[in-house]
Homo-oligomer: A and B are copies of this chain.
Amino acid sequence: MALYVQKYGGTSVGSLERIAAVAERVKLTRAQGHDVVVVVSAMSGETNRLLGMAQQLDPDATRREVDVLISTGEQVTIALLAIALNQCGCPAVSMTGDQVRIHTDSAHGKARITHIDTEPVRAQLAAGKVVVIAGFQGRDEHNAITTLGRGGSDTTAVAVAAAIGADECQIFTDVDGVYTTDPRIEPKARRLSTITFEEMLEMASLGAKVLQIRSVEFAGKYRVPLRVLSSFADGEGTLITYGGERMEAPLVSGIAFNRNEASLTILGVPDRPTVAAQILGPISDANIDVDMIVQNTLGDGSADFTFTVNRDDFRRARALLESTATELGASCVQGNESIAKVSIVGVGMWNHPGVARTMFRVLGEHGINMQLISTSEIKISVVVDEKYLELAVRSLHDAFALDREPQEQPMGG
Protein backbone atom coordinates (compact mmCIF):
# COMPACT_ATOMS: atom_id res chain seq x y z
CA MET A 1 0.00 0.00 0.00
CA ALA A 2 1.46 3.30 -1.09
CA LEU A 3 0.62 6.92 -0.39
CA TYR A 4 0.09 9.03 -3.50
CA VAL A 5 -0.42 12.72 -3.94
CA GLN A 6 -2.28 13.34 -7.18
CA LYS A 7 -2.58 16.83 -8.56
CA TYR A 8 -5.19 17.75 -11.16
CA GLY A 9 -4.91 21.05 -12.99
CA GLY A 10 -7.55 23.47 -14.19
CA THR A 11 -8.26 21.75 -17.48
CA SER A 12 -8.55 18.35 -15.77
CA VAL A 13 -11.30 19.74 -13.52
CA GLY A 14 -12.64 22.15 -16.12
CA SER A 15 -16.23 20.85 -16.11
CA LEU A 16 -18.52 18.77 -13.92
CA GLU A 17 -18.04 15.83 -16.29
CA ARG A 18 -14.29 16.08 -15.91
CA ILE A 19 -14.53 16.36 -12.14
CA ALA A 20 -16.61 13.16 -12.16
CA ALA A 21 -13.92 11.52 -14.33
CA VAL A 22 -11.21 12.59 -11.89
CA ALA A 23 -13.27 11.07 -9.08
CA GLU A 24 -13.36 7.75 -10.97
CA ARG A 25 -9.61 7.82 -11.46
CA VAL A 26 -8.98 8.55 -7.79
CA LYS A 27 -11.41 5.79 -6.84
CA LEU A 28 -9.40 3.38 -9.02
CA THR A 29 -6.17 4.22 -7.19
CA ARG A 30 -7.98 3.86 -3.88
CA ALA A 31 -9.40 0.49 -4.96
CA GLN A 32 -5.83 -0.71 -5.48
CA GLY A 33 -5.36 -0.21 -1.74
CA HIS A 34 -3.45 3.05 -1.84
CA ASP A 35 -3.99 6.15 0.26
CA VAL A 36 -4.64 9.20 -1.87
CA VAL A 37 -4.33 12.92 -1.28
CA VAL A 38 -5.67 14.98 -4.17
CA VAL A 39 -4.61 18.57 -4.84
CA VAL A 40 -6.71 20.56 -7.31
CA SER A 41 -6.62 23.85 -9.15
CA ALA A 42 -9.51 26.14 -9.95
CA MET A 43 -11.69 25.08 -12.87
CA SER A 44 -10.08 26.40 -16.03
CA GLY A 45 -10.99 30.01 -16.72
CA GLU A 46 -12.21 30.64 -13.18
CA THR A 47 -9.12 32.44 -11.87
CA ASN A 48 -9.13 34.75 -14.87
CA ARG A 49 -12.86 35.40 -14.45
CA LEU A 50 -12.30 36.42 -10.83
CA LEU A 51 -9.23 38.52 -11.64
CA GLY A 52 -11.23 40.25 -14.35
CA MET A 53 -13.81 41.37 -11.80
CA ALA A 54 -11.13 42.72 -9.47
CA GLN A 55 -9.46 44.62 -12.28
CA GLN A 56 -12.73 46.16 -13.43
CA LEU A 57 -13.09 47.63 -9.94
CA ASP A 58 -9.45 48.64 -9.65
CA PRO A 59 -6.55 47.82 -11.99
CA ASP A 60 -4.29 48.06 -8.94
CA ALA A 61 -6.57 46.10 -6.64
CA THR A 62 -5.35 45.48 -3.08
CA ARG A 63 -3.29 42.34 -3.34
CA ARG A 64 -4.44 40.95 -0.02
CA GLU A 65 -8.03 41.12 -1.26
CA VAL A 66 -7.20 39.68 -4.69
CA ASP A 67 -5.97 36.58 -2.82
CA VAL A 68 -9.22 36.39 -0.86
CA LEU A 69 -11.03 36.57 -4.19
CA ILE A 70 -9.12 34.12 -6.34
CA SER A 71 -8.63 31.51 -3.61
CA THR A 72 -12.35 30.81 -3.95
CA GLY A 73 -11.63 29.14 -7.29
CA GLU A 74 -9.83 26.19 -5.70
CA GLN A 75 -12.33 26.07 -2.85
CA VAL A 76 -15.12 25.49 -5.36
CA THR A 77 -13.18 22.63 -6.95
CA ILE A 78 -12.37 20.81 -3.69
CA ALA A 79 -16.01 20.88 -2.69
CA LEU A 80 -17.21 19.60 -6.06
CA LEU A 81 -14.59 16.84 -6.23
CA ALA A 82 -15.33 15.72 -2.65
CA ILE A 83 -19.03 15.61 -3.55
CA ALA A 84 -18.27 13.57 -6.67
CA LEU A 85 -16.03 11.17 -4.70
CA ASN A 86 -18.61 10.63 -1.98
CA GLN A 87 -21.26 10.15 -4.65
CA CYS A 88 -19.28 7.36 -6.32
CA GLY A 89 -18.76 5.60 -3.00
CA CYS A 90 -15.28 6.84 -2.23
CA PRO A 91 -15.37 8.65 1.16
CA ALA A 92 -13.66 12.02 0.83
CA VAL A 93 -13.24 15.25 2.69
CA SER A 94 -12.15 18.63 1.36
CA MET A 95 -9.61 20.92 2.99
CA THR A 96 -8.76 24.53 2.24
CA GLY A 97 -5.21 25.80 2.60
CA ASP A 98 -5.89 27.01 6.11
CA GLN A 99 -7.60 23.77 7.14
CA VAL A 100 -4.53 21.82 6.02
CA ARG A 101 -2.51 24.50 7.79
CA ILE A 102 -0.34 25.48 4.88
CA HIS A 103 1.63 28.36 6.35
CA THR A 104 3.17 30.89 3.99
CA ASP A 105 4.94 34.20 4.08
CA SER A 106 2.93 37.36 3.37
CA ALA A 107 3.91 37.99 -0.26
CA HIS A 108 0.35 38.10 -1.57
CA GLY A 109 0.02 36.68 -5.05
CA LYS A 110 3.36 34.89 -4.87
CA ALA A 111 3.62 33.61 -1.33
CA ARG A 112 6.12 30.94 -0.33
CA ILE A 113 5.18 27.98 1.83
CA THR A 114 7.05 28.11 5.13
CA HIS A 115 5.72 24.90 6.64
CA ILE A 116 2.81 22.48 6.59
CA ASP A 117 1.29 20.86 9.66
CA THR A 118 0.71 17.25 8.69
CA GLU A 119 -1.62 16.29 11.53
CA PRO A 120 -4.94 17.44 9.96
CA VAL A 121 -4.27 15.53 6.72
CA ARG A 122 -2.95 12.43 8.51
CA ALA A 123 -6.02 12.34 10.74
CA GLN A 124 -8.35 12.28 7.73
CA LEU A 125 -6.25 9.62 5.95
CA ALA A 126 -6.32 7.52 9.12
CA ALA A 127 -10.12 7.83 9.07
CA GLY A 128 -10.08 6.21 5.62
CA LYS A 129 -10.81 9.37 3.69
CA VAL A 130 -9.45 10.64 0.42
CA VAL A 131 -8.26 14.15 1.28
CA VAL A 132 -9.00 16.78 -1.36
CA ILE A 133 -6.81 19.85 -0.87
CA ALA A 134 -7.14 23.28 -2.43
CA GLY A 135 -3.95 24.06 -4.26
CA PHE A 136 -2.42 27.49 -4.69
CA GLN A 137 -3.43 28.85 -1.29
CA GLY A 138 -2.24 29.20 2.28
CA ARG A 139 -2.38 31.48 5.31
CA ASP A 140 0.21 33.91 6.55
CA GLU A 141 1.08 34.64 10.17
CA HIS A 142 -1.62 37.34 10.31
CA ASN A 143 -4.21 34.71 9.34
CA ALA A 144 -4.66 36.38 5.94
CA ILE A 145 -5.35 34.22 2.89
CA THR A 146 -2.38 34.05 0.53
CA THR A 147 -1.88 32.56 -2.92
CA LEU A 148 1.29 31.06 -4.33
CA GLY A 149 1.11 32.54 -7.79
CA ARG A 150 0.22 30.99 -11.11
CA GLY A 151 0.69 27.23 -11.17
CA GLY A 152 0.95 27.25 -7.40
CA SER A 153 -1.18 24.13 -7.15
CA ASP A 154 1.83 22.11 -8.34
CA THR A 155 3.82 23.61 -5.51
CA THR A 156 1.10 22.71 -3.04
CA ALA A 157 1.09 19.12 -4.33
CA VAL A 158 4.83 18.69 -4.05
CA ALA A 159 5.03 20.44 -0.68
CA VAL A 160 2.24 18.27 0.72
CA ALA A 161 3.91 15.15 -0.76
CA ALA A 162 7.17 16.13 0.93
CA ALA A 163 5.48 16.93 4.23
CA ILE A 164 3.55 13.65 4.50
CA GLY A 165 6.30 11.55 2.90
CA ALA A 166 4.30 10.43 -0.12
CA ASP A 167 5.68 7.62 -2.28
CA GLU A 168 5.05 9.56 -5.49
CA CYS A 169 3.66 12.93 -6.46
CA GLN A 170 1.69 12.56 -9.67
CA ILE A 171 0.92 15.71 -11.60
CA PHE A 172 -2.05 15.06 -13.88
CA THR A 173 -2.37 17.63 -16.59
CA ASP A 174 -3.74 18.13 -20.08
CA VAL A 175 -0.54 16.88 -21.67
CA ASP A 176 0.83 13.36 -21.28
CA GLY A 177 4.31 14.37 -20.19
CA VAL A 178 7.16 16.79 -20.71
CA TYR A 179 7.91 17.45 -24.38
CA THR A 180 10.96 18.68 -26.19
CA THR A 181 8.89 21.81 -26.75
CA ASP A 182 5.24 22.85 -26.86
CA PRO A 183 3.54 20.61 -29.48
CA ARG A 184 1.07 23.38 -30.23
CA ILE A 185 3.97 25.31 -31.72
CA GLU A 186 6.09 22.45 -33.04
CA PRO A 187 3.98 19.39 -33.99
CA LYS A 188 7.16 17.30 -34.22
CA ALA A 189 7.79 17.79 -30.49
CA ARG A 190 8.56 14.48 -28.72
CA ARG A 191 7.62 13.30 -25.22
CA LEU A 192 10.60 12.71 -22.89
CA SER A 193 10.26 9.56 -20.78
CA THR A 194 12.64 11.04 -18.22
CA ILE A 195 14.10 14.44 -17.64
CA THR A 196 16.67 15.42 -15.03
CA PHE A 197 15.65 17.58 -12.15
CA GLU A 198 18.03 20.31 -13.31
CA GLU A 199 16.60 20.35 -16.83
CA MET A 200 13.05 20.37 -15.51
CA LEU A 201 13.96 23.29 -13.29
CA GLU A 202 15.20 25.24 -16.28
CA MET A 203 12.26 24.24 -18.47
CA ALA A 204 9.83 25.34 -15.76
CA SER A 205 11.66 28.57 -15.01
CA LEU A 206 11.71 29.37 -18.71
CA GLY A 207 7.98 29.10 -19.16
CA ALA A 208 7.30 25.49 -20.11
CA LYS A 209 3.96 25.32 -18.37
CA VAL A 210 3.90 21.63 -17.53
CA LEU A 211 5.19 22.23 -14.03
CA GLN A 212 5.60 25.37 -12.01
CA ILE A 213 9.19 26.11 -11.08
CA ARG A 214 8.65 26.36 -7.36
CA SER A 215 7.11 22.90 -7.35
CA VAL A 216 10.21 21.56 -9.09
CA GLU A 217 12.47 23.30 -6.57
CA PHE A 218 10.47 21.78 -3.73
CA ALA A 219 10.59 18.37 -5.33
CA GLY A 220 14.35 18.61 -5.72
CA LYS A 221 14.91 19.87 -2.20
CA TYR A 222 13.04 16.93 -0.69
CA ARG A 223 13.77 14.44 -3.50
CA VAL A 224 10.03 13.91 -4.02
CA PRO A 225 9.48 11.35 -6.80
CA LEU A 226 7.59 13.40 -9.33
CA ARG A 227 5.73 12.21 -12.42
CA VAL A 228 3.81 14.20 -15.03
CA LEU A 229 0.84 12.34 -16.50
CA SER A 230 -2.23 12.96 -18.61
CA SER A 231 -5.66 13.19 -16.99
CA PHE A 232 -7.28 12.13 -20.22
CA ALA A 233 -5.14 9.27 -21.49
CA ASP A 234 -3.28 6.34 -20.01
CA GLY A 235 0.50 6.31 -20.17
CA GLU A 236 3.62 6.55 -18.05
CA GLY A 237 4.17 10.25 -18.59
CA THR A 238 7.53 11.75 -17.77
CA LEU A 239 9.49 10.94 -14.62
CA ILE A 240 11.72 13.58 -13.12
CA THR A 241 15.04 11.95 -12.19
CA TYR A 242 17.58 13.00 -9.58
CA GLY A 243 21.36 12.91 -9.68
CA GLY A 244 23.67 10.81 -11.82
CA GLU A 245 25.10 11.81 -15.15
CA ARG A 246 23.33 10.28 -18.08
CA MET A 247 25.82 8.59 -20.40
CA GLU A 248 23.91 9.40 -23.52
CA ALA A 249 22.63 12.80 -22.43
CA PRO A 250 21.66 14.77 -25.51
CA LEU A 251 23.30 18.14 -25.99
CA VAL A 252 19.89 19.78 -25.91
CA SER A 253 16.84 18.18 -24.30
CA GLY A 254 14.21 20.78 -25.02
CA ILE A 255 13.21 24.24 -26.14
CA ALA A 256 11.36 26.36 -23.61
CA PHE A 257 9.78 29.72 -24.18
CA ASN A 258 7.89 32.38 -22.29
CA ARG A 259 5.57 34.99 -23.73
CA ASN A 260 4.80 36.50 -20.34
CA GLU A 261 7.80 38.81 -20.51
CA ALA A 262 8.31 42.52 -20.65
CA SER A 263 11.46 44.57 -20.67
CA LEU A 264 12.24 47.91 -19.07
CA THR A 265 15.17 50.13 -19.94
CA ILE A 266 16.35 53.15 -18.01
CA LEU A 267 18.54 55.35 -20.19
CA GLY A 268 21.41 57.57 -19.14
CA VAL A 269 22.00 56.57 -15.52
CA PRO A 270 25.33 57.37 -13.84
CA ASP A 271 27.87 54.60 -14.52
CA ARG A 272 28.82 53.75 -10.97
CA PRO A 273 28.85 50.45 -9.04
CA THR A 274 25.88 51.22 -6.79
CA VAL A 275 23.48 52.09 -9.59
CA ALA A 276 22.20 48.55 -10.18
CA ALA A 277 21.21 48.23 -6.53
CA GLN A 278 19.52 51.63 -6.63
CA ILE A 279 17.50 50.61 -9.67
CA LEU A 280 16.61 47.08 -8.62
CA GLY A 281 16.16 47.69 -4.87
CA PRO A 282 12.67 49.20 -5.10
CA ILE A 283 11.66 46.54 -7.65
CA SER A 284 12.76 43.77 -5.33
CA ASP A 285 11.13 45.45 -2.32
CA ALA A 286 7.86 45.36 -4.24
CA ASN A 287 8.27 41.60 -4.62
CA ILE A 288 8.67 41.83 -8.39
CA ASP A 289 10.93 39.15 -9.83
CA VAL A 290 13.58 40.38 -12.21
CA ASP A 291 14.83 37.90 -14.76
CA MET A 292 17.48 38.99 -17.25
CA ILE A 293 19.63 42.05 -16.59
CA VAL A 294 21.94 43.90 -18.98
CA GLN A 295 23.93 47.04 -18.27
CA ASN A 296 25.29 48.87 -21.25
CA THR A 297 28.10 51.34 -20.50
CA LEU A 298 28.20 54.28 -22.88
CA GLY A 299 31.74 55.55 -22.15
CA ASP A 300 30.57 59.08 -21.28
CA GLY A 301 30.18 58.21 -17.60
CA SER A 302 26.62 57.12 -18.13
CA ALA A 303 24.99 53.77 -18.86
CA ASP A 304 21.74 52.18 -20.08
CA PHE A 305 20.25 49.52 -17.87
CA THR A 306 17.74 46.92 -19.11
CA PHE A 307 15.92 44.14 -17.28
CA THR A 308 12.94 41.87 -17.82
CA VAL A 309 9.96 41.17 -15.57
CA ASN A 310 6.74 39.18 -15.82
CA ARG A 311 4.31 41.06 -18.02
CA ASP A 312 1.86 41.03 -15.07
CA ASP A 313 4.31 43.12 -13.07
CA PHE A 314 5.12 45.52 -15.92
CA ARG A 315 2.80 48.34 -14.81
CA ARG A 316 4.03 48.32 -11.24
CA ALA A 317 7.68 47.95 -12.22
CA ARG A 318 7.44 50.83 -14.68
CA ALA A 319 5.91 53.12 -12.07
CA LEU A 320 8.71 52.30 -9.63
CA LEU A 321 11.33 52.81 -12.30
CA GLU A 322 9.92 56.22 -13.25
CA SER A 323 10.52 57.51 -9.75
CA THR A 324 13.98 55.94 -9.61
CA ALA A 325 14.72 57.68 -12.90
CA THR A 326 13.81 61.03 -11.38
CA GLU A 327 16.06 60.37 -8.37
CA LEU A 328 19.00 59.32 -10.56
CA GLY A 329 18.51 62.06 -13.10
CA ALA A 330 18.19 59.47 -15.88
CA SER A 331 17.17 60.67 -19.30
CA CYS A 332 14.14 58.40 -19.74
CA VAL A 333 12.45 55.04 -19.17
CA GLN A 334 11.43 52.76 -22.02
CA GLY A 335 9.24 49.70 -21.83
CA ASN A 336 8.51 46.87 -24.21
CA GLU A 337 5.59 44.51 -23.62
CA SER A 338 5.85 42.55 -26.85
CA ILE A 339 8.91 40.44 -26.26
CA ALA A 340 9.33 36.71 -25.69
CA LYS A 341 12.09 34.53 -24.28
CA VAL A 342 13.26 31.40 -26.07
CA SER A 343 15.65 28.99 -24.37
CA ILE A 344 17.45 25.78 -25.16
CA VAL A 345 17.95 23.44 -22.21
CA GLY A 346 20.12 20.37 -21.73
CA VAL A 347 22.46 18.91 -19.13
CA GLY A 348 24.71 17.86 -22.01
CA MET A 349 25.50 21.36 -23.21
CA TRP A 350 27.62 22.71 -20.37
CA ASN A 351 30.97 21.74 -21.92
CA HIS A 352 29.89 22.15 -25.56
CA PRO A 353 30.34 25.77 -26.62
CA GLY A 354 29.23 24.79 -30.11
CA VAL A 355 25.65 24.65 -28.87
CA ALA A 356 25.51 28.41 -28.37
CA ARG A 357 27.14 29.00 -31.75
CA THR A 358 24.53 26.80 -33.44
CA MET A 359 21.69 28.59 -31.66
CA PHE A 360 22.87 32.09 -32.62
CA ARG A 361 23.59 31.01 -36.22
CA VAL A 362 20.13 29.48 -36.68
CA LEU A 363 18.35 32.54 -35.30
CA GLY A 364 20.53 34.82 -37.41
CA GLU A 365 19.77 32.87 -40.57
CA HIS A 366 16.07 33.45 -39.94
CA GLY A 367 16.59 37.16 -39.39
CA ILE A 368 15.65 37.00 -35.72
CA ASN A 369 17.34 39.70 -33.68
CA MET A 370 18.41 38.79 -30.12
CA GLN A 371 17.69 41.69 -27.76
CA LEU A 372 19.15 40.06 -24.64
CA ILE A 373 21.13 36.89 -24.00
CA SER A 374 21.56 34.95 -20.77
CA THR A 375 23.29 31.65 -20.17
CA SER A 376 23.75 29.05 -17.47
CA GLU A 377 25.53 25.70 -17.45
CA ILE A 378 22.49 23.93 -18.86
CA LYS A 379 20.54 26.60 -20.75
CA ILE A 380 20.86 29.52 -23.11
CA SER A 381 18.06 32.08 -23.23
CA VAL A 382 17.48 34.86 -25.71
CA VAL A 383 14.88 37.59 -25.79
CA VAL A 384 13.33 38.19 -29.20
CA ASP A 385 10.48 40.19 -30.65
CA GLU A 386 7.32 38.25 -29.71
CA LYS A 387 6.28 37.88 -33.35
CA TYR A 388 9.33 35.67 -34.02
CA LEU A 389 8.60 33.27 -31.16
CA GLU A 390 7.12 30.37 -33.18
CA LEU A 391 9.73 30.65 -35.90
CA ALA A 392 12.54 30.62 -33.33
CA VAL A 393 11.18 27.56 -31.53
CA ARG A 394 10.67 25.55 -34.73
CA SER A 395 14.05 26.42 -36.21
CA LEU A 396 15.87 25.45 -33.02
CA HIS A 397 13.87 22.23 -32.61
CA ASP A 398 14.92 21.28 -36.15
CA ALA A 399 18.51 22.37 -35.72
CA PHE A 400 19.02 20.21 -32.63
CA ALA A 401 17.05 17.29 -34.14
CA LEU A 402 14.79 17.07 -31.11
CA ASP A 403 12.14 15.10 -32.97
CA ARG A 404 14.46 12.07 -32.92
CA GLU A 405 15.30 9.84 -29.93
CA PRO A 406 18.66 10.93 -28.55
CA GLN A 407 21.76 9.00 -29.71
CA GLU A 408 25.17 9.01 -28.06
CA GLN A 409 26.42 12.44 -28.95
CA PRO A 410 29.81 12.99 -30.55
CA MET A 411 32.13 14.65 -28.05
CA GLY A 412 33.55 18.09 -28.68
CA GLY A 413 31.84 21.24 -29.97
Contacts and interface: CB of A to CB of B under 8 A. Distances in A.
Interface of A: 16, 19-20, 50, 53-54, 56-58, 61-62, 64-66, 68-69, 71-72, 75-76, 78-80, 82-84, 86-87, 93-94, 96, 98-99, 120, 143-145
Contact of A68 (B56, B64, B75): B75
A163 to B, nearest CB: 18
B82 A62 contact: yes
13 contacts: A50-B76, A57-B80, A57-B83, A57-B87, A61-B83, A61-B86, A62-B83, A62-B86, A65-B82, A68-B96, A69-B75, A69-B79, A72-B79
Given A57-B83, A62-B83, 17 more contacts: A50-B76, A53-B76, A57-B87, A58-B87, A61-B86, A62-B82, A64-B93, A64-B94, A65-B79, A65-B80, A66-B83, A68-B94, A69-B83, A71-B75, A72-B76, A98-B98, A120-B143
Contact of A94 (B65, B76, B87, B98): B65
A57 B143 contact: no
Contacts of A84: 57-58
Nearest to A82: B65
Given A16-B56, A57-B87, A58-B86, A79 B96 contact: no
As for how many copies of this chain the complex holds, the number is 2
B83 A78 contact: no
Contacts of A57: 16, 19-20, 80, 83-84, 87
B68 A78 contact: yes
A79 B73 CA distance: 13
**Main SS at interface, chain A:** helix
Nearest to A63: B83
Contacts of A80: 53-54, 57, 65, 69
Contacts of A61: 83, 86-87
A310 to B, nearest CB: 21
Most interface-central of A16, A94, A145 (chain B CB within 10 A)? A94
A99 B54 contact: no
A195 to B, nearest CB: 36
Nearest to A60: B87
Contacts of A71: 75
Nearest to A52: B16
A68 B95 CA distance: 9
Contacts of A65: 79-80, 82-83, 86, 93-94
A258 B49 CA distance: 36
Contacts of A79: 54, 65-66, 68-69, 72
A335 B50 CA distance: 42
A321 to B, nearest CB: 23
A8 to B, nearest CB: 15
A95 B79 CA distance: 21
Contacts of A20: 57
Nearest to A93: B64
Most interface-central of A53, A68, A98, A145 (chain B CB within 10 A)? A68
A75 B99 CA distance: 16
Contacts of A54: 79-80, 83
A169 B144 CA distance: 26
Contacts of A68: 75, 78-79, 82, 94, 96
Contacts of A143: 99, 120
Contacts of A19: 57
